[in-house]
Structure 1
């Protein structure tokens, strides 16, 4: 088990969970520990944000789900009645080894221990499935922003439809431009975000982009409170989908270690369309007319938050 130290410290049941792992004999390590008194010091702004599970090297899960209650067991969330809504994909076949390698690389980076015997490449060398999958890890250790490059390439390749689900949508300028130009090319673009915010600065920074998106022709769906739409996905036309841990924000592009799975195949995209339809039924559409009625103080706060978006 690998878990991010800074993101989990002080959380409800954190210490009890580690004690339970010890009692059951599980091997666990903290990722990016910030423990100067123990001689362990990593930058506290970095995160291992990946969410993955590999079982026997044969089955894997990737997506947005953390291993916690839908309220994160936080009193402030319970008081507000907030519940997180997530999306995971269960996969078999050759792609499992790629997901396994991401975990093993993270394990090695923290422990120096090589677990190559844990991956049996021969057992997953072939599959009867009809989907093409590619795992795209990203993070500060890579020379380029792999997740941003993946998203940009797919957005520019779109011909008919782009649907984005991102709870924290704080794009850098090239990504924003790609969506605006997609609308200008006549492509239908939809963005799903949450009506309710759980992180004030990110929530307001995200709102600062709504007017430009609405004027360009993007349809914005607000997932109704008291639920936080935490899923992260992208679908292009009826051909390609991406699901994983990466938000479309500057933190995910530059500071977080993320994992994304790109899938090519109409069957998978059709499943994603059903998920998107469910999200749509539980959301309300934000119109430009409604947005322009926002009070000036909200606009000022949104724009101030945007100035600090690279640090959030």
Structure 2
């Protein structure tokens, strides 16, 4: 046999000189030894093991994939900008994690606010108000109304954006505001929006209008714009004049997302967003300012306009929690785990993509086994086939621990993202309960501490989510075909490669 089987990172031909074979074998062994000590650095063992398996079992593909995708952090220059802006905002808040009265707060909630501040530099404040936005299209109309009344500035930052019959009025409002002298700044995630019908038309309109806009995390190496391609800006933020803001799970596109497959299957996305007033508006604007600075190098004047305006008491207490690969830690995951472990009566999770890491899985199952009522809402259908199969691989373990799983009826694509703890805590934002949202996506989360608002959330669950969902039957689920279980477990493996 003149040619041996594939060995290590290359194929060996016996006709090669011995010195070449020895050299290649030595290089291969060095790569493996270095990988064993390098890849586990600052990675979860499961993640490191996933990459090592990929490198050892699929040599060429594995090592190239790791070099391309192995780091879940943005470039250092971007992280340095995040640190700079964090320091500015810390100075403006006198380094206080909670502004105003906090004596009434249970210790687990005050420590949660401190944790968020240590990780994300934005404090908890009084004096906020929130309106729940439960209809995608009505929410975009409300956004357009606020933009039509803008006099100073509009800051717009979303993951998926396209112009269509539903979004047209919103973009007309943005361009009209620009034409009357309002400072309009727009950030749109590059890969998130690329490929959706209406995006290319939107780019042409924005370019011709002269409005200030940028692609967030662009992948255009021919223009010197590149970073790990699957690190994305998944945030959804609109700030108008520093007086009102919107945030949540919603993208700026028709609820069908305009794709033929979605239209054929009757898919309609269901979201949950917030219309906000009070000090959290400035905090959401701080997140936009940071992202604008990272993309353009321009640090906006709003970043240095003095102390955060926040009363000592009154209104709703809330805190904005940014997270993502621009931070050193997984801010959102730490908050979720902290709150779940401190639950006494109930935990309600709604996540379209539920692929938990070990720590979140342990938190939920521990609370369920402790007698806490843990309810999980996920979609009966999904637009991500592999993610849904990975998600389904966790159902049996969750139900066995006592977690109740509710499947929202198809063809609605459940896209709302929220968490409720006991009778006082609500979390609403852009973050899914999966490792992508914890480690790779730039996300923004609203942490709300208020009994009346949380009751509104439970009412929403009872009126809109529970009646349109069916509880997973554990016995029937366990009897599903073996092939389904096999596919789910294979899909589950992909969650480790972060």
**TM-score, normalised on structure 2?**
0.61
> Structure 1: where are the runs of 5+ without partners?
none
- List aligned pairs for 1:150-299, cutoff 5 A: 150-277=335-462, 278-299=464-485
Equivalenced residue count is 312
Matches of 1:272 and 1:119 in 2, distance apart?
Answer: 35
Q: Following superposition of structure 1 onto structure 2, how do residues 48-87 of structure 1 map, counting pairs within 5 Å?
A: 48-87=233-272
Are the equivalent residues in 1 in contact too, given 2:352–2:415 (CA < 8 A)?
yes
Between the aligned partners of 2:365 and 2:371, the Cα distance in structure 1 is 10
C-alpha separation in 1, matches of 2:496 and 2:232: 15
1:134 aligns with 2:319: yes
1:90 to 269, 275, 279: 275
Q: Which residue is 1:307 aligned to?
A: 493
Query: How far is the alpha carbon of 1:124 from its aligned partner?
Result: 3.8
Cα deviation for residue 4 of structure 1 reads: 0.6
Which residue of 1 is the match for residue 179 of structure 2? Answer: none
1:299 and 1:121 map into 2 onto residues whose CA distance is: 56
Q: Secondary structure at the match of 2:355?
A: coil
The two structures, once aligned, show a CA RMSD in angstroms of: 1.6
Equivalent pair of 1:96/1:124 in contact (CA under 8 Å): no
Contact preservation (8 Å) 1:97, 1:121:
no
CA distance, structure 2, for counterparts of residue 163 and residue 294 of structure 1? 26
Matched, 1:148 2:333: yes
Number of the residue aligned with 1:43: 228
Deviations 1:61-112 (A, max 9, x none): 1100000010111111111110100000111111111100000000000000
Q: Which has the higher helix share?
A: 2
Deviation at 1:113, TM superposition (A): 0.4
- Counterparts of 1:184 and 1:135 in 2: how far apart (Å)? 31
Q: Please report how far the alpha carbon of residue 20 of structure 1 lies from its aligned counterpart in structure 2 after TM superposition.
A: 2.2
Partner SS, residue 103 of structure 1 = helix
Equivalent residue in structure 2 for 1:113, among 269, 291, 298: 298
SS of the residue aligned with 1:181? helix
* Contact 2:282/2:308 (<8 A) preserved: no
Q: What CA distance in whole angstroms lies between the structure 2 residues aligned with 1:172 and 1:255? A: 13
Cα distance in 2 for partners of 1:110, 1:83 equals 32
Alignment check: 8 A CA contact 1:193 1:220 kept: yes
Q: Relative contact order: is structure 1 or structure 2 higher (C-alpha 8 Å, sep ≥ 6)?
A: 1
Q: For the structure 1 residues 235 and 121, does the alpha-carbon distance in structure 2 shift closer, same or farther, using more than 3 Å as the test?
A: farther
Shift of 1:15: 1.4
In 2: Cα distance, 1:61 partner to 1:119 partner: 22
Q: Deviations over 1:18-42 (max 9, x none)?
A: 2222344421100110001111112
| 3-state SS of paired residue (1:107) | helix
Displacement of 1:285: 0.7
User: Does the CA-based 8 Å contact 1:93-1:127 persist in structure 2?
Assistant: no
How far, CA to CA, are the matches of 1:126 and 1:254 in structure 2?
A: 34
The DSSP-based 3-state class of the residue aligned with 2:378 is strand
Structure 1 stretches of 4+ with a deviation exceeding 4 A read: 118-123
